[in-house]
Amino acid sequence: EAGVAQSPRYKIIEKRQSVAFWCNPISGHATLYWYQQILGQGPKLLIQFQNNGVVDDSQLPKDRFSAERLKGVDSTLKIQPAKLEDSAVYLCASSSSTGAHEQYFGPGTRLTVT
Amino acid sequence: QKEVEQNSGPLSVPEGAIASLNCTYSDRVSQSFFWYRQYSGKSPELIMSIYSNGDKEDGRFTAQLNKASQYVSLLIRDSQPSDSATYLCAVNSGGGADGLTFGKGTHLIIQP
């Protein structure tokens, strides 16, 4: 079974530029999460999707961050405009809607904002 | 605000000994508890989940949960150098919005 896929793996941009990250969850997983992990910290939830609907976006900085999961499968997270403090690893995770709801993470995208 | 607390370490343990990692959480309605292992430069990898009070064993790993004390721990028996990593404790409240709240992680070093 293929794991969670993310791209790109690395991205370097200048502040005030925009950037987008893509995630494809484990096949059949209805729930998809985006987390932000700053160096030395644990991951922080940004947004949770159930199929193509948003379940929780309470910690998403909506003035600059947006996310969508239009067809209920893959998802895109966008930052516009980026700030220096957005430098972090952006992790996508998915879980099945049945059973233990364990979350499995993709390899992440390391973003550096200069 | 939900909080998960872990000692950041580093925790240094001799090879072959038992490593004990601890975690406390603030939200009493938390229902699901997870331990993730994260190697430097890699993403978190799920190693244990526990949902009810008591112990849960899986190979060399044992998770322990005490909801009354809001405490969860991870024991690693016969520690190996390959166990050297950061261990992240995570909790969620169950229900529909089940995003995880993570601690900052404990850096574990197994000394050969």
B89: closest chain A residue by CA: A42
pLDDT tens string B50-65 = 999 999 999 999 999 9
**pLDDT band, residue A70 (cuts 50/70/90):** confident
Paired sense of beta strands A10-13 and A65-68, if any: unpaired
Q: Token pair 């494809």 is at which residue?
A: A24
| Residues in contact with B23: Cβ distance below 8 Å, sequence separation at least 6, in sequence order | B4, B5, B6, B71, B72, B73, B74, B89, B103
The predicted structure's pLDDT at residue A99: 64
The predicted structure's pLDDT at residue A30: 93
User: What is the rounded CA–CA span in Å between residue A81 and residue A63?
Assistant: 9
Which own/partner contact pairs does B13-18 have at CB distance under 8 Å and 24+ positions apart? B13/B79, B13/B108, B13/B109, B13/B110, B13/B111, B14/B79, B14/B110, B14/B111, B15/B79, B15/B80, B15/B81, B15/B110, B15/B111, B15/B112, B16/B78, B16/B79, B17/B79, B18/B75, B18/B76, B18/B77, B18/B78, B18/B79
> Does residue A1 surpass a pLDDT of 80?
no
Is B99 in contact with A48 (Cβ distance < 8 A)? yes
Is A105 in contact with B99 (Cβ distance < 8 A)? no
pLDDT tens string A14-40 = 999 999 999 999 999 999 999 999 999
| Residues in contact with A25: Cβ distance below 8 Å, sequence separation at least 6, in sequence order | A4, A32, A73, A74, A75, A92, A94
Q: Taking Cα atoms as reference points, which of B49, B46, B30 lies closest to residue A91?
A: B46
The predicted structure's pLDDT at residue B63: 98
Q: Which of residues 24-53 of A touch B (CB under 8 A)?
A: 31, 33, 35, 40-45, 48, 50
Q: What's the residue count for chain A?
A: 114
**pLDDT band, residue A98 (cuts 50/70/90):** low
A–B CB contacts, 8 A cutoff, strictly below: 54
> Does residue B95 surpass a pLDDT of 80?
no
What mean pLDDT do residues A81-86 have?
A: 98
Cβ-based contacts of B4 with chain A (< 8 Å): 42
The predicted structure's pLDDT at residue B23: 97
Q: What is the least distance, in Å, from the CA of A82 to any CA of chain B?
A: 22
Largest distance between two CA atoms of chain A: 43
> Does residue B29 surpass a pLDDT of 90?
no
What mean pLDDT do residues B77-102 have?
A: 92
Q: What is the C-alpha R_g of chain B?
A: 13
DSSP class of B30: -
**pLDDT band, residue A100 (cuts 50/70/90):** low
The predicted structure's pLDDT at residue B83: 98
User: What is the rounded CA–CA span in Å between residue A90 and residue A112?
Assistant: 11
Q: Of the ranges A99-103, B67-71, B89-93, which one carries the lowest mean pLDDT score?
A: A99-103
